[in-house]
Amino acid sequence: MVRRTGRLDQMRSRLKLWRARKVGENVRVIGRIWVYGGGRIEIGDRVLVDASACPIELHVKEEAALIIGDDVEIHGGTSIEATARVTIGSGVHIGPYCKVMDNHWHPLRGDRRQRPESSPVVIGDRVTLGRKVILLPGVMIGDDTRVLDASVVSRSLPPNVTAQGFPSRPVKKKELGRI
Amino acid sequence: MISTALLTKIRQRIWRELHWPYRWYLRDCERGASVCAFSPVQVENEGRIWLDRKVTFVRGMVPTKIICGKGAEVSIGPYCMINYGITMRALNSIRIGERTLIAAFVEIDDASDDGEPRPIVIGDHVWIAHGAVISPGVHIGNGSAVAAGSRVTRDVPADCLAIGNPARIVPFDVVTR
């Protein structure tokens, strides 16, 4: 799918993404995008960032990387936090109010002000995340997987399944008709 | 020689004080020393809201909303960090202990389906992660944690992790990570 955008629109989008190290062709940003930290951000071609409902946050720490592939669509209210590495494949659709993080920010026991070790998050190609999906650190999602609304992915998901719930598990083929 | 930790502390303190105009949003609340908001907070107060010293409202995309009904009470303990996009609605009472961390998009609502609001008590050093929902009448013990996206419907004892939808309660000794 080729999305045509006006030249002025593209220039504005590029200005909004001035913090990104690499921005592809035909990238479109609607609304506000907040970028924190000085890490490496790479954005592929034909990416649509639709923040018209609510701004989008990208936290990328120093020495961290956020790599977004081609044809990705990201909706408003999403926040992506990278302290090590977050990789988003091509053709991914991220719904509104999603949260992708690769660090828990606080340890479970002991002093909550310290930061635990981070573990990278990988999202495969053509993955669809619904509304309010939360991806916890260390998660890998296989290609063509669909994650339904308001589920929390705490373990890795295989390719080509539909997952739901918390902790999110692949839905069985019998139950698929009901969803 | 001033240590780096002290310098950071001084810098943080100055940064907090520079945000004094944001206290306008907290004008309906009773508040202690150095209560600080880094972004707009929507407060609808018909009861009593008490913010103890050094409560912080972190800056973010969605404003935090605190609704306090008639005769209701919200009290937030000292050194609490409250992230953005929180909905806190009290028709009876919500008490939050000291040094509690509340992440973004958490919902704390004490209005139950049967029409009678039941009080919510959250202890000290509790960590409530992103998008968790706390149901009415829930007590969360000291030092516990609520995992991201979980719905807490039962009481959580001290030093436990509440995880899942509806939340299972797992003591910290059993948790491997």
pLDDT tens sequence across B36-91: 999 999 999 999 999 999 999 999 899 999 999 999 999 999 999 999 999 999 99
Residue of B60, B105, B148 with shortest CB distance to A152: B148
CB contact under 8 A, B60 and A57: yes
Q: What is the pLDDT along chain A (179 residues), one digit of tens a residue?
A: 455 667 888 888 999 999 899 999 889 999 999 999 889 999 999 999 999 989 999 999 999 999 999 999 999 999 999 999 999 999 999 999 999 999 999 998 888 888 899 999 999 999 999 999 999 999 999 999 999 999 999 999 999 999 998 888 888 776 776 66
Print the SS3 string covering chain A.
CCCCCCHHHHHHHHHHCCCCCEECCCCEEEEEEEEECCCEEEECCCCEEEEEEEEEEEEECCCCEEEECCCCEEECCCEEEECCEEEECCCCEECCCCEEECCCCCCCCCCCCCCCCCCCEEECCCCEECCCCEECCCCEECCCCEECCCCEECCCECCCCEEECCCCEECCCCHHHHC
Residue B123's DSSP bridge partners are: none
Residue of A34, A55, A134 with shortest CB distance to B148: A134
Strands B120-122, B139-140: pairing kind = parallel
CB contact under 8 A, A54 and B61: yes
CB contact under 8 A, B164 and A77: no
What whole-number distance in Å separates Cα of residue B123 and Cα of residue B98?
Answer: 7
ipTM over the 0.95 cut-off: no
What whole-number distance in Å separates Cα of residue B55 and Cα of residue B36?
Answer: 6
- Structure token digits, residue B24: 């306008």
Report DSSP state, residue B38: S
What whole-number distance in Å separates Cα of residue A59 and Cα of residue A22?
Answer: 16
Q: Which residue of A has its CA nearest to B173?
A: A109
Provide, as residue numbers in chain A, all residues whose Cβ is less than 8 Å from the Cβ of B148. 99, 134, 136, 152
| Chain B nearest C-alpha distance from A18 (Å) | 20
Residue B165 in this model has a pLDDT that exceeds 90: no
User: Which amino acid is located at A102 in the chain?
Assistant: D
**pLDDT value of position A173:** 73
CA angle A142, A144, A149 (to 5 degrees): 90
CB contact under 8 A, A134 and B131: yes
Query: Which backbone phi and psi does B48 adopt, to 5 degrees?
Result: -135, 125
How would you class A169 by CB atoms within 10 Å of its CB: exposed for 0-12, middle for 13-18, buried for 19 or more? middle
Long-range contact set of residues B108-114: C-beta below 8 Å, sequence gap at least 24: B108/B134, B109/B133, B109/B134, B109/B135, B109/B136, B110/B136, B110/B137, B111/B136, B112/B136, B112/B137
